[in-house]
Structure 1
């Protein structure tokens, strides 16, 4: 691999490569951004480039140093992860002991701390002291999905690089490379936490869940009472146990967006649909709902999605949403 393998983060990669070319790499970075956008891969490629025998703006992937780092057996490149619920001070002390001796010639030691926001205050303070008094050339890379949970004293010592959410096309391709079916990958790529959501279900379960959400939307727009019955008999009975209600609403919102795009793309010149397998259902439901009602429906789903995190009972949240969608008003 090389920096070229990191997709969708051109600004971050350009900054790091400029630093490598001009010898201006920071002593500490904070890689912040959503899950699955290439933070760990970028950290690994930076470690390789810093120690590559070719000494350029990227790793050669052929020299002994690159290969050792790639295979995780380089003694001066260490990865730290939470031990249980947190990163503890003993883990930092172990790191200090490992780095207490002098490294080989021209070696740049690299520490990669994953989920760095899980450091205890004691571990963070110990790390700060270690960074301020290095025994040799060293770069620390703190990786986090929740930068707001990081201690300000830690962030003040880091150059913060923000990783953006991957475009759906890139994420879909990445999911396909992981063995996910193309139609599922396209839908998951448009969900806010696509890769996390997929861990809850296998391929067929996810496809069945999408199919059932689309059928439920048909019940809703038809004004059938079965739309309310489904809440109690299906969604609350089956989905809450697996914490899938937010996913159900995310899929519903995405489906309504597809219906809106169907109205806007009547010429068929643009392939903007996400649910490519359900073309017949999309045409039928889009025909029965006009654009303004679809937008009101999306607003109702968004409101319900936020209410799920509040004190209201899920049954009341879903029932209010269904009634608002059927009445066409909020």
Structure 2
């Protein structure tokens, strides 16, 4: 279901900006919507398209006219959507986009194009898109949606208005999870919101048992690394560490775990701990580690988030973070991130 701006959770400043430019008709010819997966970028892009294509002319989609219904069904003639085919967006996809944008609007208004997972464009596709961005067609709006804006060409980014979406507040995310995932109660919804970093979309694709299983793999690995007496830090976990899927999610699970260890180490209680179902393990691991070790590993997760922009090797960096827990290792992150 495609909603209006006022029905979207979070992203207040972005929604206010888009509402204003729709009313004043001062839209940019191209936008980049970037941010964590599953936080509402695509939903916002579709809501913008619905506002622009609504035939009521009131600056806010009515939801009942034929145009709004067509947008909701995905078959509006002035709305084009491009998604990766077999993991890539090719130059042929962009050529089709250019042909569609060059044609007269069916309704006499805007033509809108959404490019989902825009970072999956190959170099030829990006260069072809760049020419379109440099010479925009009047009354057209292109929206590039991506969780990895650093993979787009700087020349493409510079020709778009870049709107950066932030993760949802845990309360908002947990309420959306309870409404979208059958059988999930308040406590599990809050845990899922925390473990996914405020991404309801990830919670819709990963069941709570899967999230807990992934988290428990991290807990076991961090415990093993803290106790290892030789160089065999990662025996039995090679596949887990080398798996490049959900790297952001894994990093967040690890960050939240170290956060809980640090809070328990400092305060000696579980009041602010997120992984409350792992209280015994939190107490055990935190007592076995110095606060300096825990905080250094936590800093490592923050540092790694920055290195994603430079295509750092996920396995090597995650291993480095885990090795910081071992008292036999003297590797520490610089506090300058």
- Shorter-chain TM-score bucket reads 0.7 to 0.9
What's the CA shift for 1:253?
Answer: 4.2
Relative to structure 1, the CA distance from residue 327 to residue 245 in structure 2 (aligned partners, 3 Å threshold; closer, same or farther) is: farther
| Alignment pair present for 1:71 and 2:76 | no
**Cα gap change, 1:62/1:68 in structure 2, threshold over 3 Å: closer, same or farther?**
same
* Residue 31 (structure 2) aligns with: 29
Report the alpha carbon displacement of residue 19 of structure 1 after superposing the two structures with TM: 0.8
The within-5 A match list for 1:42-191 is 42-130=44-132, 132=135, 134=137, 137-179=139-181, 181=184, 185-191=189-195
- State the Cα distance separating 1:299 from its structure 2 match: 1.4
Report matched runs for 1:258-269 at 5 Å: 258-262=260-264
Question: Which segments of 5 or more consecutive residues in structure 2 lack a partner in the other structure?
Answer: 333-337
For 1:89 and 1:179, locate their aligned partners in 2 and report how far apart those are by CA, in whole Å. 38
Contact 1:231 1:315 in 2 (8 A): no
Are 2:276 and 1:276 aligned? Answer: yes
Structural mapping, 1:176-255, within 5 Å: 176-179=178-181, 181=184, 185-191=189-195, 202-211=207-216, 213-214=218-219, 231-232=234-235, 234-236=236-238, 239-240=240-241, 242=243, 251-255=253-257
Aligned to 2:326: 323
Contact 1:231 1:319 in 2 (8 A): no
Q: Distance in 2 between matches of 1:162 and 1:95?
A: 24
CA contact (8 A) 1:184 1:207 kept: no
Query: How many residues are matched?
Result: 319
CA distance in 1: counterparts of 2:318 and 2:39, whole angstroms: 35
Gaps of 5+ in 1: none
Q: State the Cα deviation string for residues 22-43 of structure 1 (Å, max 9, x = none).
A: 2211222222222222211111
Instruction: Determine helix, strand or coil for the equivalent of 2:125.
Output: helix
Supply the RMSD in Å over aligned alpha carbons: 4.2
Larger-gyration structure (1/2): 1
Partners of 1:105 and 1:96 lie apart in 2 by: 18
**Aligned-partner Cα distance in 1 for 2:224–2:87:** 43
Tell me, in whole angstroms, the C-alpha distance in 2 between the residues paired with 1:118 and 1:60.
Answer: 34
TM-score (norm 1): 0.75
Q: Secondary structure at the match of 1:29?
A: strand
| Deviation digits for residues 166-212 of structure 1 (CA, Å, limit 9, x no counterpart) | 33333344444442845555444344767698799654344345446
Q: TM-score, normalised by structure 2?
A: 0.73
